[in-house]
Structure 1
Amino acid sequence: MGSINFNSEPLNYDLDFVTSTSIKVSWETRSDLVVYFLDSDYSPSKQYYKGPGNTVTISDLKPNTEYKFVLAGQKDVNNRTRPTRFTVRTPVRMVSPPTFFTAYNQTDSEVSFFWNPGEVEFGEPRYELRRDGHLLEVASQPPFTDTSPEQGRDHVYCIRTLDGEFNYSEPVCVTVNFEDFTAPTDPSSLRTSNLGLTLSWDESYDSSGDVTYIVDQGVDHQLGTTKETEFSVTGLELGRRYEFGVTATDKAGHESNRIVVHYPALGISVKGKP
């Protein structure tokens, strides 16, 4: 047997498809060629195809991996085409999000969601649902109902598709507004200090997370508002008893009960009076 001559032009080829785990390669055929070879172009070499055809599908590849191939045709035992070398990188696993994600049946205390299927290459698709970044559920199919939203909040709900290997799609998000129907809790432990008179109290709770305090020196004498839990009062007169009130309010305008404190405290005589 003589040496092999590589005296024909390289073959042209096409990549018919590339997935994360497989590719399909096709190439031109020539009347003078009787067999075609497709091998790996690295050591140790692996032969993917040998025969008279012009296409092969290669499976069991790894995602996000580079593969090198060499393609050639043979006229007889001593004559081949010059090799065609090419490189293919498989993509990461394909995971696509739902293209439709919507809220429905919303009440003041719950909301439901429906979506169309996402797509995965491996396993069955599942769906991760989050509210304001916090995991609510991993569902296998719609619908899903959130039974614990908070009043007075604009909640952001996001859905991602995931596959059997925990590859995730990009998120799809919607914002759902919940009206505020309740007032904040009452301020508590209202007290005074003797340093120019500073009122302070314990924080109120409201589901909206946005509380403002109205401070008064009597029902018809508002001193001001603050988001802090203390308020300084000046301009007081010696020998006079004062009543101060604090009311919590939220951005929807709901108000708590007014709590009061007296200065000097009841039971302590006013200086300058018997």
Structure 2
Amino acid sequence: MIISCARQCFTVMKSESIVSKMKDQILWTALPAFLAIADHGGLTAAAQHSGHSAATLSRHISRLEQHLGKRLFLRGAQGYQLSPEGRALLPLARRMAHDADQIERWTADAPAPPSLRISAGPWTARWLAQAIAPQDISWRPSFVSAITRTDIARRAVDIGIRNARPTQSWLAGQKIGTLRYAVFARDPDVPGWITMTEDAARLPSAQWVATHVTRSGAPVSARTNCPILGATLAAQGHGRIVLPLFAGALTSGLTRIGAPIDALTSEEWLVSHHEARFDPQIRQALTDVRAALKGKPA
């Protein structure tokens, strides 16, 4: 019986709260209609200036009068004239409209969320760009797709995703996973290899391919300085390529050929400056990035 009474009390309180919110909504949505009619002396003129139909304005006024329990307008052949209650409400409504306008201006002038710079390899940067939705974070991402390491110590970036534990004393790191690599191609019969040029040639996966090509004499069928472009070439049948397992899963048209390459397996670390990590915004960004990377396919 006690549980039943408590449940009934909670239901009543919840209903009262809903009714209160509905009344507040009626007040805020109807006041502009009240001001428009008061300023223009009738529904037709108010409708022309407000952009709402006369029927909509009339409906708002009826709801407002019902909500307040007062008659705000005297309706007659000459249109709508303010009643004594309406004249008393008019300065209060103008004040509320002014305050609402000030709040809207203040909201529009509010500072933008902070922009935080995140460096990662091309594939990890692409994953983060797809995994982090703007409505889920309180900061603005500024991605740096970098094959070489960026300087966190001098704050070139705020957060870095790296393939090894940081050894410098001024850096803090969190291990977030393990990266495994394998050979991918459109199908197992594709013979040639896609190799990397420029900075991309320094990637461990690119060096593995270069060594394999040299030792085996396998043909090079295409070259590129962009690993993502290389995956696209592989999906079109131009050759084989070595990719992180999650990158192969992201690229339509690729098939994994063989087991993961043990020599390329590496740890993945989330790195920041050891002092900056205590900044609330960077700490939140670290949490968001870590959560996004946890959802990455193994």
TM (norm. structure 1) is 0.23
Q: Which is richer in helix? A: 2
TM (norm. structure 2) is 0.22
Q: Which is richer in strand? A: 1
Q: Which has the higher contact order (CA 8 A, sep 6+)?
A: 2
